[in-house]
A = this chain, B = another copy of it.
Amino acid sequence: MKSRCYCITLRRASRRLTSTYDAALEPFGINLAQYSLLKTVVRLGPVSLTDLAHTLDLDRSTVGRNARVMVRMGLIAMGPGKDQREQALGPTARGRALLAEATPIWAKVQHDIDARLGPGKVEQLQELLAEL
């Protein structure tokens, strides 16, 4: 139980919290990682895989594969980029709509966490995590 390994504690918390978000997003047919990807794609407009990966702090190949799944879902579209080699990712209409629908639920999860931890705690947590 009480593994003193900081990393194990962190990983466990990450899994648990992820599943909370996943459960909340489940009615929309997406999970947290996909929600995050979709939101970023909407925010950055047409964006290359490399830039997206950099923004999300994920490996490019990871983003590429995850994006492909969402292309299959019809939430994201891949078009030609500035180059012959570059892919430009953008949201589809359905992607935008889904994001708009899901965001209030996501916000509720965030709010619930705020409420559970109490004022200032989330900021404290974010700061500590940033220092890691």
Interface residues as binary, A93-132 with B (CB distance below 8 Å gives 1, 0 otherwise): 0000000000000100110010011000110111011111
The reply to whether the CB of A16 lies closer than 8 angstroms to some CB of chain B is: yes
Interface size class of A (residues with CB under 8 A): 35 or more
Answer yes or no: A18 CB below 8 A from chain B CBs. Answer: yes
Number of identical protomers: 2
Q: A2-10, A45-53, A66-74, A80-88: which lies at the B interface?
A: A2-10
Smallest CB-CB A-B distances: 10 pairs: A14-B14, A13-B129, A125-B128, A7-B21, A7-B17, A10-B14, A13-B132, A11-B14, A8-B36, A17-B132
| Chain A interface residues (CB < 8 Å from chain B) | 1, 3-18, 20-21, 32-33, 36, 40, 55, 57, 106, 109-110, 113, 116-117, 121-122, 124-126, 128-132
